């Protein structure tokens, strides 16, 4: 045996505990008979039981057993970084890290590293595959990451691999009842009282992780497959996304868990040009059937309507306007015709140069629209040209969409959430960054924090949003979202529908609750989604809140919450001393008492928008009470929420 191989002879026994900076969370990593296991405890109570890790490969031995430890390296990290926009101005990134360098014991001697990071609010780890001679390109047939938790725990979940992507209502079941794969973030209440959410961070060039019970009844990674059944093709060096287990004492603590952002890299370029935006749209009129995307008598995106909406934006103090249905591709059955959509040719009744000049004159930012219907090949052929077209007209915001149950990529039908789907979304984000374009992606890949690296990705949809209402959503939905989907980042929920009683698209909320959403559902681009006349003529007093509420905050404090029942959160404006509060309840009326001790010294005018005592989401949605009082940090606010109701408060510093 040469000296070299002796020196690097892998250890066959290994065990190490690493604690979070405050010591409360401890991860144990160990090697048992050639396999690596990890487990996680908080305050000595089990969060994750001994779980295995590994990667299964096509045509080669899996990286799962016969392993030894070559070296282990530990370090600590603590830094505070500044965001360009978002729910917090500053975020602390503080963890203890263990990098475990592994090698196979047999004659293969392939190497990989498991990197663990233990934060005060959770644990993350990833696989790192360094380049090695004879081990350069891999076909990954499965990732074998287990998250073995107590299966009596309760999970809030939406199903994976369904035609409507992430657009589902949440179900709540014990983990042992999960019969199919579910999307992440998967939020779980453990029998020992802790709340966890399993998710991933920094998803690049890999299938998105869903979770299912494996044959040992353990939750296991189920990576979204490609059309040939493989999970990913990777070239070494390659790092998988981070596998993340957020851990909280109370559900509301999950809201301020920033692990997902922290596990992403800081931006490489200057993104100070990125600006969050509030916008209206030639949009809801199509959903209620007043206008159409398609050409014809009721065509929405005409030059005339666009100019009228720009005037309305000016009067209403809204900076941006989305215009959907201006380009060729909406004729006939647009869901089928996506392969021939043009992103640079306007319909005959829409003049881009006239509309954009009018917007510029009025200081209104247009939000361009690209409905690809998932025909990625058609879109990628035009992508650069499509971006440049908008740039030529001074348009810096784009809302791309991928309606359609699958994507067409290189002629194949692929999942939106597969490796090639992930790669496509990434291409759009990176090209947009280069061209100083900001995005609001609909039918997106779920958020994994890449907006830290690419802050031009201002928001996305990626859950059942308001456009799917029409009575189909129960009021509990938006009391679940903050604890599940929103842990993956902001969401364009398209709030501010005031015409809640409209027969063709009835919305199951009170009017006051529509205002609450601007605080409870964070988005770097917030839509005032209804038609301007509902703001100007029908409910001008309630509208005032939408005008006032900012899109970027200095800090966020969840105040009260029970998943599926109610949620109250307060946020401080980034650019003033004002605070905002939003609250929502499920179908049950509720009175909440809010302690204002978090306020700064001095007096505030509390501008309160709440449900009237007679309000109800089914038959008395519009009954709103708007009142003002002066408060200080010594005061409490007692607020009643109607069934399916909510409230919004602006605390204006006096
Ligand atoms: C689905 C999007 O989510 C929606 O906002 C858009 O209006 C339609 N597709 C049409 O593009």
Residue 103 phi/psi, 5-degree rounding, is -145, 155
* Mean pLDDT calculated for residue range 377-401: 98
Q: Of all protein residues, whose CA lies closest to atom 1 belonging to ligand 1?
A: 403
Per-residue model confidence as pLDDT tens digits over 88-117: 999 999 999 999 999 998 777 899 999 999
Label residues 292-330 b or e (16+ Cβ within 10 Å = b): bbbbeeebbbbbebbbebbebbeebebbbbbbbbbbbbb
For domain 463-490+498-523+534-654, the question of CATH label 3.20.20.70 is answered with: yes
Does residue 512 have a pLDDT over 50?
A: yes
Give the position, in ligand 1's atom list, of the atom nearest the Cα of 286.
Answer: 7
Does residue 20 have a pLDDT over 70?
A: yes
Q: How far is the CA of 269 from the centre of ligand 1 (A)?
A: 31
Assign 504 a pLDDT band (cuts: 50, 70, 90).
confident
* Mean pLDDT calculated for residue range 126-145: 94
Nearest residue to 326 (alpha-carbon basis) of 309, 316, 315: 309
Question: What pLDDT score does 506 carry?
Answer: 84
Residues belonging to the chain: 654
Among 294, 300, 324, 329, say which to mutate for ligand 1: greatest number of ligand atoms within 8 Å of CB. Answer: 324
- Asked if residues 29 and 53 have their Cβ atoms less than 8 Å apart, the reply is no
Q: How far is the CA of 325 from the centre of ligand 1 (A)?
A: 10
Per-residue model confidence as pLDDT tens digits over 540-558: 999 999 999 999 999 999 9
Question: What pLDDT score does 515 carry?
Answer: 98
3-state SS, residue 233 = strand
Q: If you count DSSP H runs as helices and E runs as strands, how many of each does the chain have, helices first?
A: 12, 37
Among 329, 367, 442, 443, say which to mutate for ligand 1: greatest number of ligand atoms within 8 Å of CB. Answer: 442
Instruction: Tell me whether strands 525-527 and 553-562 are parallel, antiparallel or unpaired.
Output: unpaired
Question: What pLDDT score does 390 carry?
Answer: 98
DSSP at 537: I
Percent of the chain having pLDDT more than 70? 98
Give the position, in ligand 1's atom list, of the atom nearest the Cα of 371.
Answer: 11
- Report the run of H or E that residue 123 belongs to, with start and end: strand 122-129
Cis peptide preceding 100, ω within 30 of 0: no
Q: Which residue has the higher pLDDT, 340 or 21?
A: 21
Give the position, in ligand 1's atom list, of the atom nearest the Cα of 494.
Answer: 5
DSSP at 310: H
Does residue 514 have a pLDDT over 60?
A: yes
Q: How far is the CA of 283 from the centre of ligand 1 (A)?
A: 9
Question: What pLDDT score does 471 carry?
Answer: 67
Among 337, 367, 371, 529, say which to mutate for ligand 1: greatest number of ligand atoms within 8 Å of CB. Answer: 371
Assign 468 a pLDDT band (cuts: 50, 70, 90).
confident
Report if pTM > 0.85.
yes
Q: How far is the CA of 412 from the centre of ligand 1 (A)?
A: 23
621 alpha-carbon distance from chain centroid: 29
3-state SS, residue 80 = strand
Q: Of all protein residues, whose CA lies closest to atom 3 belonging to ligand 1?
A: 442
Contacts of 567 (CB under 8 A, 6+ apart): 478, 479, 482, 483, 520, 558, 560, 561, 583, 584
The fold of the 2-262 domain, in CATH, is: Beta-galactosidase; Chain A, domain 5 (2.70.98)
Domain ranges for the chain, please list them.
2-262, 463-490+498-523+534-654
Give the position, in ligand 1's atom list, of the atom nearest the Cα of 369.
Answer: 11
Contacts of 134 (CB under 8 A, 6+ apart): none
Rounded Cα distance between 148 and 514, Å, is: 39
Q: Of all protein residues, whose CA lies closest to atom 5 belonging to ligand 1?
A: 442
- Asked if residues 624 and 592 have their Cβ atoms less than 8 Å apart, the reply is no
Assign 5 a pLDDT band (cuts: 50, 70, 90).
low
Q: Of all protein residues, whose CA lies closest to atom 7 belonging to ligand 1?
A: 283
Q: 155-158: long-range contacts at Cβ-Cβ below 8 A with a sequence spacing of 24 or more?
A: 155/182, 155/186, 155/187, 155/188, 156/186, 156/187, 156/188, 156/480, 156/483, 156/484, 156/563, 156/564, 157/182, 157/183, 157/186, 158/182, 158/183, 158/463
- Asked if residues 456 and 437 have their Cβ atoms less than 8 Å apart, the reply is yes
CA dihedral 477, 492, 160, 238 (to 10 degrees): -140
The mean predicted confidence, pLDDT, of the chain is 96
Q: Of all protein residues, whose CA lies closest to atom 11 belonging to ligand 1?
A: 371
Rounded Cα distance between 189 and 193, Å, is: 7
Angle at 121 between CA 117 and CA 123, to 5 degrees: 30
Ligand 1 cavity residues, CB under 6 Å: 324, 371, 401, 403, 442, 461, 467
Q: Of all protein residues, whose CA lies closest to atom 9 belonging to ligand 1?
A: 403
Q: Of all protein residues, whose CA lies closest to atom 10 belonging to ligand 1?
A: 371
Q: How far is the CA of 244 from the centre of ligand 1 (A)?
A: 31
Rounded Cα distance between 86 and 246, Å, is: 20
Label residues 36-53 b or e (16+ Cβ within 10 Å = b): bbbbbbbeeebbbbebbb
Return the active site residues: 467
Contacts of 301 (CB under 8 A, 6+ apart): 282, 293, 323, 324, 325, 326, 347, 350
Give the position, in ligand 1's atom list, of the atom nearest the Cα of 287.
Answer: 7
Rounded Cα distance between 110 and 66, Å, is: 11
- Asked if residues 202 and 167 have their Cβ atoms less than 8 Å apart, the reply is no
Q: How far is the CA of 403 from the centre of ligand 1 (A)?
A: 7
Among 403, 404, 529, say which to mutate for ligand 1: greatest number of ligand atoms within 8 Å of CB. Answer: 403
Q: How far is the CA of 329 from the centre of ligand 1 (A)?
A: 14
Instruction: Tell me whether strands 320-323 and 277-282 are parallel, antiparallel or unpaired.
Output: parallel
Q: How far is the CA of 609 from the centre of ligand 1 (A)?
A: 30
Q: How far is the CA of 401 from the centre of ligand 1 (A)?
A: 6
User: Between 303-316 and 352-361, two packed helices, what is the crossing angle to 10 degrees?
Assistant: 10
Does residue 2 have a pLDDT over 50?
A: no
Rounded Cα distance between 90 and 75, Å, is: 23
Q: How far is the CA of 157 from the centre of ligand 1 (A)?
A: 23
Assign 452 a pLDDT band (cuts: 50, 70, 90).
very high
Rounded Cα distance between 211 and 230, Å, is: 16
Rounded Cα distance between 543 and 319, Å, is: 15
Contacts of 336 (CB under 8 A, 6+ apart): none
Question: What pLDDT score does 7 carry?
Answer: 55
Among 338, 401, 470, say which to mutate for ligand 1: greatest number of ligand atoms within 8 Å of CB. Answer: 401
């Amino acid at each position: 045996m040469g000296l070299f191989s002796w020196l690097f002879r892998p250890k066959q026994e290994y065990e190490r505990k690493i604690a979070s900076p405050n010591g409360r969370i401890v991860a144990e990593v160990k090697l048992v008979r050639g396999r690596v296991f990890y487990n996680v405890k908080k305050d000595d109570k089990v969060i994750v039981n001994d779980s295995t890790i590994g990667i299964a490969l096509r045509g080669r031995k899996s990286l799962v057993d016969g392993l030894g430890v070559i070296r282990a390296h530990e370090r600590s990290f603590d830094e505070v970084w500044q965001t360009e926009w978002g729910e917090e101005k500053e975020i602390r990134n503080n963890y203890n890290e263990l990098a475990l360098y592994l090698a196979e014991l047999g004659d293969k001697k392939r190497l990989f590293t498991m990197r663990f990071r233990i934060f005060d609010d959770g644990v993350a780890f990833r696989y790192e595959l360094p380049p090695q001679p004879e081990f350069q390109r891999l076909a990954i047939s499965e990732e074998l990451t287990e998250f073995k938790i107590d299966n009596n725990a309760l999970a809030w979940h939406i199903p994976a691999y369904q035609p409507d992507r992430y657009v589902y209502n949440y179900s709540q079941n014990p983990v042992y009842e999960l019969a199919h794969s579910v999307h992440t973030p998967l939020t779980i209440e453990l029998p020992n009282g802790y709340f966890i959410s399993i998710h991933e961070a920094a998803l690049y060039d890999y299938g998105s992780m869903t979770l299912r019970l494996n044959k040992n009844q353990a939750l296991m990674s189920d990576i979204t497959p490609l059309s040939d059944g493989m999970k990913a093709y990777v070239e070494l060096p390659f790092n998988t996304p981070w596998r993340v287990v957020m851990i909280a004492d109370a559900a509301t603590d999950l809201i301020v868990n920033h692990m997902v952002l922290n596990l992403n890299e800081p931006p490489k370029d200057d993104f100070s040009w990125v600006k969050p935006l509030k916008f209206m749209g030639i949009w809801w009129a199509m959903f209620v059937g007043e206008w159409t995307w398609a050409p014809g008598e009721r065509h929405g995106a005409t030059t005339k309507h666009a100019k009228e909406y720009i005037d309305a934006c000016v009067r209403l103090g809204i900076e941006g306007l989305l215009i959907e249905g201006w380009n060729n591709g909406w004729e006939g059955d647009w869901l089928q015709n996506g392969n021939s959509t043009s992103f640079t040719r306007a319909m005959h009744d829409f003049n881009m140069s006239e509309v954009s000049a009018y917007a510029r004159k009025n200081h209104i930012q247009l939000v361009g629209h690209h409905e690809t219907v998932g025909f990625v090949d058609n879109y990628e052929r035009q992508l650069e040209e499509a971006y440049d077209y908008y740039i030529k007209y001074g348009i810096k915001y784009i809302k791309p969409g991928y309606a359609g149950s699958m994507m067409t990529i290189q002629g194949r039908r692929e999942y939106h959430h597969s490796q090639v789907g992930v790669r496509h979304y990434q291409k759009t984000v990176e090209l947009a960054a280069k061209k100083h374009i900001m995005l609001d992606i609909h039918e997106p890949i779920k958020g994994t924090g890449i907006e830290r690296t690419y802050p031009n990705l201002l928001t996305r949809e990626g859950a059942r949003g308001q456009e799917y209402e029409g009575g189909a959503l129960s009021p509990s939905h938006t009391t679940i979202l903050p604890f599940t989907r929103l842990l993956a980042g902001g969401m364009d929920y398209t709030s501010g529908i005031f015409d809640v009683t409209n027969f063709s698209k009835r919305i199951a909320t009170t009017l006051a609750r529509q205002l609450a959403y601007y605080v409870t559902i964070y988005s770097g681009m917030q839509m005032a989604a209804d038609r301007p006349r509902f703001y100007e003529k029908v409910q001008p007093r309630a509208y005032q809140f939408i005008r006032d509420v900012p899109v970027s905050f200095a800090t966020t404090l969840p105040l009260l919450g029970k998943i599926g029942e109610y949620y109250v959160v307060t946020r401080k404006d980034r650019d003033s001393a004002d605070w905002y509060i939003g609250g929502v309840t499920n179908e049950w009326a509720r009175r909440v008492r809010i302690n204002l001790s978090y306020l700064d010294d001095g007096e505030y005018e509390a501008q309160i928008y709440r449900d009237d005592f007679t309000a109800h989401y089914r038959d008395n949605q519009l009954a709103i009470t708007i009142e003002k009082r002066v408060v200080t940090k010594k005061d409490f606010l007692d607020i009643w929420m109607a069934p399916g109701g909510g409230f919004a408060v602006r605390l204006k510093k006096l």
